[in-house]
Amino acid sequence: MRHLLDTQTLSREDALQILDVAEDMADTQRREIKKLPTLRGKTVVNLFFEDSTRTRISFEAAAKRLSADVINFSAKGSSVSKGESLQDTAQTLQAMGADAVVIRHGASGAPRTLATSGWITAGVVNAGDGTHEHPTQALLDAFTIRKRTFGDDSRGRDLAGLKVAIVGDVLHSRVARSNVWLLTTLGAQVTLVAPPTLVPQDVSGWPARIEYDLDAAISEGPDALMMLRIQLERMGAAYFPTEREYSRRWGLDAARLAALAPGSMVMHPGPMNRGLEISADAADSARSTVLEQVANGVSVRMAALYLLLAGERSAPENRDTAPLTKEETR
Ligand code: NCD
């Protein structure tokens, strides 16, 4: 794997490899000493043109636990136009010897531009680009679903036969897009639940069914109900009458939580608008995987960085298929 730009073009084989290596990484994270020497001497740059708490910290923790050097570059507020600033910044990173660049950008497609521009030789990881994709979020979501469903027996398994409902602001959500592609690649059935105004125009080309009624979707007994944040910062116009009306029809409240099938999990990528798309009861219930998602995010990002940097690039012997050597996990 040279870059991780999207899940739309990620093969089932590569996705399962990332999830399985993430299982190995998660095992190492249960130890008292969490640091592995695997990426010693490599430099990972976190290049964030958009706000982020979880994702940036998660990538930083992942890189540090693999002993890479980490440079955090927050480019918010730059006055240079986006294209120019990206090229300038990329060339600076190249001159500094970055081995991997983790990029979050407001423009859909910016990570691909960076990866294919010839400006840098580093591996590029998309940490969220506009409303396009957020592949590591989908991978950590798939990891979380698999772990809750199969526990210690997760390795090698896909999500065939599982039903996932993704609920809310699908229109503005790169998390929804990445999940639709990845979860269906892994064999799950995906239903999108949203008000008609928050369903994307191009949705007919997606491998997902659309449902407008959350109660109907819940009555079908999904294995996972993934609530999306209402992205008020990306909304110029009014997409729903009032916040209260939105919560009443598409929010996960206590009554809907109680109506969920036994064993079905409640997910949210964070940050949550408590009281809008998800009630505190739901967010803090035993069904909620919110904190597991955060913890699993570090393992999944460790796996992605490892496969990008310790894999094909240096590969003494098939390093991209053999996860960790005994020495590395010691
Ligand atoms: C998501 C994002 O930034 O796309 N958050 C995240 O990465 N944890 C979802 C969101 O902002 O709603």
For the stretch 231-264, pLDDT in tens is: 988 887 788 989 999 999 999 999 999 999 999 9
Give pLDDT, residue 319: 38
What does the pLDDT look like over 17-54, one tens digit per residue? 999 999 999 999 999 999 999 999 999 999 998 888 89
- Identify the CATH number of the domain defined by range 12-133+297-321: 3.40.50.1370
Q: Which of 99-113, 242-256, 300-314 is predicted least confidently?
A: 300-314
User: How close is the Cα of 171 to the center of ligand 1, in Å?
Assistant: 13
Which long-range contacts link 192-197 to residues 24+ away (Cβ below 8 Å)? 192/165, 192/166, 192/167, 193/165, 193/166, 193/167, 193/168, 193/217, 193/250, 194/167, 194/168, 194/169, 194/170, 194/250, 195/239, 195/240, 195/246, 195/249, 195/250, 197/171, 197/239, 197/240
Give pLDDT, residue 322: 44
Q: Residue 192's beta-bridge partner residues?
A: 166, 210
Domain 135-292 of CATH type 3.30.365.10:
no
Considering the chain, tell me which residue range(s) the CATH 3.40.50.1370 domain(s) occupy. Answer: 12-133+297-321, 135-292
The model carries a pTM of 0.92
User: How close is the Cα of 95 to the center of ligand 1, in Å?
Assistant: 30
User: How close is the Cα of 94 to the center of ligand 1, in Å?
Assistant: 28
User: How close is the Cα of 270 to the center of ligand 1, in Å?
Assistant: 6
> In a mutational test of the pocket of ligand 1, which residue from 131, 140, 175 has the highest number of ligand atoms less than 8 Å from its CB?
175
pLDDT greater than 90 at residue 89:
no
Q: Which of 92-101, 130-139, 140-149, 189-198 is predicted least confidently?
A: 92-101
Determine the atom of ligand 1 nearest the C-alpha atom of 55: 7
Give ligand 1 pocket residues (Cβ under 6 A): 54-55, 128, 134, 137, 174-175, 229, 231, 269-270
Give pLDDT, residue 93: 87
